[in-house]
Structure 1
Amino acid sequence: MPDVCLYFQVHQPHRLISPQNDRTRLKPPYEDDALNREILNRVSDKCYLPANKMFKQRIEESHGLFRMALSLSGTVVEQFKKFRPDVLESFQELVATGGVELLAETYYHSLAFVYSDKEFQRQVDMHLDMLEENFSVRPRVFRNSELIYNNSIAAKAETLGFEGIIAEGTPAFTEGISPNYLYRAPDTARIKTLMRNHTLSNDLAFRFSDSAWGGYPLTWEKFTDWVGQSPGDLVNLFMDYESIGEHQKAEKGIYEFWQKVPEVLIEAGSQWVTPSEAVSIYPSLKEYDCAKVTSWADAERDLSAWYGNAMQQEAMAKIRELEPKIVSCGDPVMLATWGRLQSSDHPYWMSTKGGADGDVKNYFSPYKSAEEAYRTFMDALADLEYRLQACAVHA
């Protein structure tokens, strides 16, 4: 029976206000506070608070045998502080049990590694500082936004002092090697790569309540059998925290499932381990040479979710173009605004893919179309660039 590593991503972006052709409505940070508050309240009541309570009970009742990991973006913590400090306190209480490991990432849940090494490192440092300030922890394992990964990212994470890094384990890139072992990237000396078991993770995150799915209904007994049939050291279950109660509704039995699974897997012989514990316990099986950039998004599992069309490419090129102007201006409000605009959600909402990928994007997007997402984003960037020009004149 393999052991199990459970990790959840916790993230909310700062959604933007639409100027509706009235540029006078625009001013940094261009955020729709009413919409951000509404969504955060809904997800907090359906997911964050009840899930935190449930997992806290599972950790305490198992005397610490059940363990898990979370990655909280800087933007979601900002919104907790602004709109729901009770939810931040709930996460702090969960972490204080000692059964939850926090992972490092980019503060703004951004694509910074793709376009700026300096900005990437700045955001990682910001995120580490945020975790230390709010949770008094310093992570040992790194997960890049949307599990964006390749050899270079693993090497960079090692230079930053991390002992482990998270990657997607889709067969299209792993060439048949099992995700249920730890690996090492070429030209690294110490850091280990943990691969997401995408099949079992997506059974929980996406297919759980799909009555047309062959595995429906997914019971804890059935899932325990599937884990037991997965050869290897470790089954890595990585997914959005919002899959509990928000994407997979409470009335479909998702809470009953998670209340039972920790105990059932322990009884079956699995050990729950956190990512840093996995790095300490298990050897790296062999080298995982991943030259291409991978992610956990869309069917392609690459960067096409954010760079797949001309709108997305133009938007990200403009973000990159503004970096030297932002740095030279030195205005902390403009720097924070530019940072928040780097959240990967903004170009993702501009995707024009169809099929299942398009359905997922439409579910998450606050816009009626990719074109509306693009116009709203570019209006904010245009106003920011105008203000940067004024800053340069007065410098």
Structure 2
Amino acid sequence: MTSHIALFFELHQPLRLKRLSLYSPSNLPTSFSDVIDVMGNSEILSRVVSRTYLAATKILYEASQKVKDFKMTMSISGILLEQLKKEHEEVIDLLRKLVDKGLLELAAQTYYHSLAWFVDRAEFEDQVKAQVELVRETFGVNPSIAENTEFIYNNDIGCELQRLGFKGVITEGVDWLLGWRSPNYVYKNPLCGVKLLLRNYRLSDDIGFRFSNRQWSEYPLTADKYASWVASTPGDLVVIALDYETFGEHHWPESGIHEFLRWLPVELSKRGVTFLKASEALNLEPRDYLDVPPWSTISWADERDLSAWLGNGMQRKAFDVLRRYYYFARALGGTYLRSWRLLSVSDNLYYMATKPGGEGEVHRYFSYLGDPYDSFLTYSYALELLGLMIRNGLKENPCAAIKVKLPDDLCFRFYNSGGAEVAKACSVPDLATALSTLPKEVVSKAVSASYLNRWSQEIFGLNLDALLGLIRRC
């Protein structure tokens, strides 16, 4: 039976968009800052601060006075830390107190709680480093363990996080990958050996989703009952990972969730279960390798895959447009890249899910817009405004187009008369090199059939002559 528990809490609040579906294209906001629902975000954050971030944290601090080995791990998105530092410094002060006393470890994640990994690895790295830097600046500590947004994980993500200096990664204990094995052990990535902690989703979801369900056979869930379940679970440790908002926002205080949280550390301690920070759990001996190839990427949402964000046509279309804009926003930098990053927050895609049943209910609960089609229209208008910003930015600074580095699927490909690919251009300098070095018949085929001009207009918004003119001008 297990003798260790690792408590992991996720803290994140997005910067929600105004309900742009109520606007017509002709009267959309002209400034990107105007699409952010400042008042709505402030109201929601104040409520969550009162119900959870202050109330639950004070409860856990009090519990630490009764249970001497109590400790936990939290992962706080950069975008939430920004908001807390601006509007609720009292939360920062309370969390800092726990960090200073050694009760709280902070983990790394993407700054914007985004799907940056699926856009560009450089952007993923930048977002993780930015979140780490903000944590260091705010709390004076360096995270040694990391998660990707919503526990999204595969072998490559694990190895990239190891390359960035992290000793371990926290992700989901997925049945169809584990097979007969238990999530209640430390595992290793088969490619690079980075250690993995796996969430016990059944025990986690007993609190996260079933606590207030009066139809559940185990209702009401008490701290002593739950502690007995944990203590009788086979394995080296149990990782309980939850949205921190579970304690007061998702389950209101009237549900008894705060009293449950108050007594849980005490009841676990009574049963001989000791608390570990996530980084301490990595000291346990790994039991086996867990192979998660890219085509089997996992998460902690819905079916434990990417369908919560990319499961329907609206989500995939929106993400594709967002991805295309990225390469130009990055080249322009500054407010263009900041605006893109605000739209990259994964919640925007999550709101568009059209799933039925219990999963659909969860998506609708989290969506402040309620309707996935409203969410898609709102996001589409925001993307349209971002696109206009980028086009205007390129008009003002056309030389920025020289810096654009396209992904493989957007590059132009040159073919010989036999239909074999002989070169590709993923940037304006690449194109200039190809046109000056490739055989004339290859270039002539691309130009005369207007393939190259269409690509230039579709990708850069410029005809071929104007695009090539940038080489001479810049």
TMscore range, shorter length: over 0.9
**What is residue 16 of structure 2 aligned with on the other side?**
15
**What is residue 39 of structure 1 aligned with on the other side?**
44
Superposed CA offset, 1:12-71 (max 9, x none): 0010013311544242232100110111011111111111111112223433x1010100
1:351 matches 2:353: yes
1:392 matches 2:394: yes
1:123 matches 2:133: no
**What is residue 455 of structure 2 aligned with on the other side?**
none
**What is residue 61 of structure 2 aligned with on the other side?**
56
After TM superposition, the score normalised by the length of structure 1 is 0.96
**What is residue 203 of structure 1 aligned with on the other side?**
206
Report how far residue 93 of structure 1 moved. Answer: 2.3
Superposed CA offset, 1:292-325 (max 9, x none): 1001111x11001111111111111111111221
Q: 1:351 to 1:24 in 2, by over 3 A?
A: closer
1:263 aligns with one of 266, 269, 274: 266
1:173-188, aligned counterparts within 5 Å? 173-188=177-192
CA–CA separation in structure 1 for the residues paired with 2:377 and 2:93:
37
**What is residue 380 of structure 1 aligned with on the other side?**
382
1:1-395, aligned counterparts within 5 Å? 1-2=1-2, 3-19=4-20, 20-21=23-24, 22-29=26-33, 30-63=35-68, 65-189=69-193, 191-280=194-283, 282-291=284-293, 292-298=296-302, 300-330=303-333, 332-395=334-397
- Report the AA paired with residue 369 of structure 2: Y
Report how far residue 362 of structure 1 moved. Answer: 0.6
Report how far residue 91 of structure 1 moved. Answer: 2.2
CA–CA separation in structure 2 for the residues paired with 1:319 and 1:72:
24
CA–CA separation in structure 1 for the residues paired with 2:86 and 2:387:
26
Superposed CA offset, 1:198-248 (max 9, x none): 010000111111111011111122112211221010000001000001111
- Report the AA paired with residue 43 of structure 1: V
Report how far residue 278 of structure 1 moved. Answer: 0.4
CA–CA separation in structure 2 for the residues paired with 1:18 and 1:205:
28
Report how far residue 354 of structure 1 moved. Answer: 1.0
Native 8 Å contact 1:26 1:380 kept in 2: no
Gaps of 5+ in 1: none
CA–CA separation in structure 2 for the residues paired with 1:87 and 1:67:
18
CA–CA separation in structure 1 for the residues paired with 2:191 and 2:332:
38
Gaps of 5+ in 2: 398-474
SS at match of 1:25: coil
- Report the AA paired with residue 393 of structure 2: C
CA–CA separation in structure 2 for the residues paired with 1:393 and 1:18:
29
**What is residue 441 of structure 2 aligned with on the other side?**
none
Superposed CA offset, 1:80-131 (max 9, x none): 1233222222222232221100000000001111221111011001011110
Taking only aligned residues, the RMSD between alpha carbons, in angstroms, comes to 1.3
Number of corresponding residues: 390
The higher relative CO (CA closer than 8 Å, separation ≥ 6) is in 1
CA–CA separation in structure 1 for the residues paired with 2:158 and 2:316:
25
- Report the AA paired with residue 358 of structure 1: G
